[in-house]
Each structure stands twice: as structure tokens, then as C-alpha cells.
């Protein structure tokens, strides 16, 4: 028994040395397992303590505990040393080297561009500015009065059904809506001109309009119109027809025709629908023009005397014409886009063409 205890110092030195010599956490774990194992040398010594003479037991137990403690100390020192090394090795192994990682995407990023609709609006403005018009705009959120009443469409008038209106607030203090057309800007311009004494008016008013409508090949719920208004002395329907045709040829090309078909709008009298040759089939008939060969661009007519009177312009002295047509529709014809919804679908392959 005592001979075994005589080996304690050697055993301890041996374990401490092994712990210190360890170069990785696996080797350290092996030393620790042996130190604690029930079938290991330290557990055997522990069991033999009970067989010693009673007076030897105390010192033997203490010596064993001290031996264990010094091995544990060597193990934890070693663990600290090895963990520093192993962390450095790990970081080294994880280092990213250019070329290790696939570079996704396109580089440098591509630059966006003005949308087909915005560019069309710019081009339309240019055509009208060249013809002597100025450019104005007005709010997209309008009151019922500007969108309807001042345009000779009283509340509950059946003509309101012509516009599928999106209302924001109904009733007191005022009914507020998303404008269904750019015609309310006409009213604002006439009021301003009367207030500042700057008649006559020759202006176009482009902008966004909204209708509660089901989008199809020729209609969007949020779309763009350009309104035109001329108020002067001696303006006739021939001036209107001349401006429409000059515009058609200037913008779409000299081989394109325009035609006016009798129509009704509460704010113009007489009124007409303004159509141009379908640019997609060149008049032969296709899905886009419902096989008619013509595409309706918008409406027009002579400003109704009641509208002039409502804003304080004397209909005996002044007359005028107005028109309003779709900018998206112009983009569609100009770029021969069979379905207008492509303009808002956000398909990069489509949009990149413009």
C-alpha cells in the first residue's frame, strides 16, 4: 500500500508533464479523463486510503488531494494556452480570400432611366410649347366642386357615371376625391386668369388621374392625362380640329390621321371624341383597338358657356376649346405596346427597352 503511495509524486509529475506538453484540446481532454476515471490510477489510490492505518489516512488523503489539484491546475493553464492557439488557427482557416467567394450580381450597378410615361409627357409638353402653349398643373386630390360642379356636373347628375370616382371624404365640410380627369385644372386656370386679369389662356395641364376601373389592355386605375385649354376672343371649332390634327402629325408622324366623333361632355358644347389611327396595326384592326383600326385618345369640345360663366368669364366676349387625352395611351401608341399594363408591371426586361 505505502509503496503505491510512494509513486504518487511520480504519477503527479507524469500527469502534469502530459498536460503541459499537450498541443491541442483533444490531448488535454485525454489527461483530464484519465485523472477522473474510476478505473484510473488516482481513483485506485483513493480506494486504497481506506486500507491504510488510521493515522496514515489523513495525510494520505491530503497528499492525494494536493496531487489532483496540481494536475487540475496544469490542465487549466494548458487549456488557456491551447485555446489561444486554436482560435488563431480557426481564424486563419476562416479567412476569406478574393476569389473564394462567388461574386453575384452585376457590377457596377446599372443606372435607371426616365420611365416611358414620364418621357412621353415631356415630349407632349414640347409639342404644345412649340405651338405656343404654356404648361400648368394642379392638385391630384380635388374637391367635388372642381372635379364636377364647376364643370357643369351638379351632384347626382347622371353624367357623373361617366367617371368611376374614388372618393376620399364624402359630405361635410366638403366632398374630397381623387381627380378623375385633368379638367378641374382648367377651372383653376380660368379663376387665376380672371383674378389676375391675364386672359387669354393657351395652356396644357399634364398630370395623374384616378378611376375605380378594372385595368385592361387600354386602361389603368392610375393614369395620366394632358388637358388643353384655349380661351380667347373668336375661338371656333375649326381651331380645335386644327390643333388636334397638327398635334397628331407632330407627335405621331405625318402619316397618322386624327378624327373627331360626336360625343357628350357636360363641360363642352359641342363635344367630340378624338381618335387617331391605331399605331399598332396601322389601321388594319387588332386586339388593342378592338379591331376598329382607331384608338380613342380622349375628349374635346368648345368650352360650355355655363362653365365660363361659373368662373366669371363673359361668354359673349370670350369663347374657347378644351381637350383632354391619355398620356399612357400616347406612350402605348408611340412605342406600340399591345397591353398598357406592361407600363406598370415592373418587368425589367420590358422597361429596359425605353
Residues contributing to the site for ligand PHE (CB under 6 A): 181, 183, 265, 268, 271, 298-301, 322-324
Closer CB to ligand PHE, 5 or 325, in the complex: 325
Three-class SS state of 36:
helix
The HSE-up count of residue 236 (CA atoms within 13 Å, CB side) is 3
DSSP code, position 276: E
Rounded CA separation 299/326 (Å): 10
Backbone angles phi and psi of 94, in degrees to 5? -85, -5
Closer CB to ligand PHE, 209 or 331, in the complex: 209
Least distance from ligand PHE to the Cβ atom of residue 285, Å: 24
Least distance from ligand PHE to the Cβ atom of residue 209, Å: 7
Least distance from ligand PHE to the Cβ atom of residue 343, Å: 19
Please report the sign of the dihedral spanned by the C-alpha atoms of residue 183, residue 189, residue 192, residue 196. negative
Closer CB to ligand PHE, 193 or 320, in the complex: 320
Rounded CA separation 85/106 (Å): 40
Contact 333, 325 (CB under 8 A): no
Least distance from ligand PHE to the Cβ atom of residue 344, Å: 19
Rounded CA separation 180/177 (Å): 8
The HSE-up count of residue 210 (CA atoms within 13 Å, CB side) is 12
Rounded CA separation 81/226 (Å): 78
Query: What length does the chain have?
Result: 354
Rounded CA separation 221/209 (Å): 8
Residue 158 burial (10 A CB sphere; 0-12, 13-18, 19+): exposed
What are the beta bridge partners of residue 150? none
Closer CB to ligand PHE, 264 or 354, in the complex: 264
Closer CB to ligand PHE, 56 or 269, in the complex: 269
Least distance from ligand PHE to the Cβ atom of residue 236, Å: 16
Least distance from ligand PHE to the Cβ atom of residue 228, Å: 7
Three-class SS state of 152:
coil
Closer CB to ligand PHE, 32 or 227, in the complex: 227
Least distance from ligand PHE to the Cβ atom of residue 183, Å: 4
Least distance from ligand PHE to the Cβ atom of residue 262, Å: 13
Closer CB to ligand PHE, 121 or 183, in the complex: 183
Backbone angles phi and psi of 248, in degrees to 5? -55, -45
Closer CB to ligand PHE, 138 or 299, in the complex: 299
Residue 260, C-beta contacts closer than 8 angstroms, at least 6 positions apart: 241, 244, 272, 273, 274, 275, 300
Least distance from ligand PHE to the Cβ atom of residue 159, Å: 11
Closer CB to ligand PHE, 8 or 162, in the complex: 162
Amino acid at each position: 500500500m505505502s509503496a503505491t503511495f510512494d509513486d504518487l509524486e511520480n504519477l503527479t509529475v507524469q500527469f502534469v508533464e502530459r498536460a503541459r506538453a499537450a498541443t491541442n484540446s483533444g490531448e488535454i481532454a485525454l489527461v483530464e479523463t484519465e485523472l477522473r476515471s474510476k478505473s484510473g490510477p488516482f481513483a485506485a489510490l483513493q480506494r486504497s486510503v481506506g486500507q491504510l492505518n488510521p493515522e496514515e489516512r489523513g495525510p494520505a488523503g491530503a497528499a492525494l488531494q494536493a496531487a489532483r489539484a496540481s494536475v487540475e491546475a496544469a490542465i487549466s493553464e494548458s487549456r488557456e494556452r491551447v485555446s489561444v492557439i486554436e482560435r488563431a488557427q480557426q481564424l486563419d482557416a476562416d479567412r476569406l480570400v478574393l476569389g473564394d467567394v462567388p461574386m453575384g450580381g452585376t457590377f457596377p450597378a446599372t443606372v435607371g432611366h426616365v420611365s416611358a410615361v414620364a418621357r412621353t409627357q415631356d415630349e407632349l409638353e414640347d409639342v404644345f410649347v412649340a405651338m405656343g402653349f404654356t404648361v400648368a398643373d394642379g392638385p391630384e386630390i380635388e374637391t367635388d366642386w372642381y372635379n364636377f360642379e364647376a364643370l357643369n356636373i351638379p351632384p347626382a347628375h347622371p353624367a357623373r357615371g361617366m367617371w368611376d370616382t374614388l372618393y376620399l371624404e364624402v359630405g361635410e365640410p366638403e366632398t374630397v376625391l381623387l381627380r378623375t380627369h385633368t379638367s378641374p385644372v382648367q377651372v383653376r386656370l380660368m379663376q387665376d386668369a380672371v383674378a389676375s386679369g391675364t386672359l387669354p389662356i393657351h395652356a396644357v395641364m399634364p398630370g395623374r388621374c384616378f378611376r375605380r376601373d378594372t385595368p385592361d389592355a387600354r386602361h389603368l386605375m392610375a393614369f395620366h392625362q394632358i388637358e388643353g385649354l384655349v380661351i380667347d376672343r373668336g375661338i371656333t371649332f375649326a381651331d380645335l380640329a386644327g390643333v388636334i390634327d397638327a398635334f397628331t402629325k407632330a407627335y405621331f408622324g405625318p402619316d397618322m390621321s386624327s378624327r373627331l366623333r360626336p360625343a357628350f361632355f357636360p363641360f363642352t358644347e359641342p363635344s367630340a371624341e378624338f381618335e387617331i389611327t391605331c399605331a399598332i396595326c396601322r389601321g388594319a384592326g387588332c386586339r388593342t383597338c378592338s379591331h376598329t383600326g382607331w384608338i380613342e385618345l380622349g375628349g374635346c369640345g368648345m368650352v360650355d358657356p355655363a362653365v365660363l360663366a361659373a368662373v366669371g368669364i363673359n361668354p359673349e366676349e370670350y369663347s374657347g376649346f378644351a381637350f383632354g387625352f391619355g398620356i399612357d395611351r400616347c406612350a402605348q401608341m408611340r412605342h406600340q405596346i399591345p397591353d398598357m399594363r406592361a407600363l406598370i408591371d415592373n418587368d425589367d426586361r420590358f422597361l429596359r427597352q425605353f
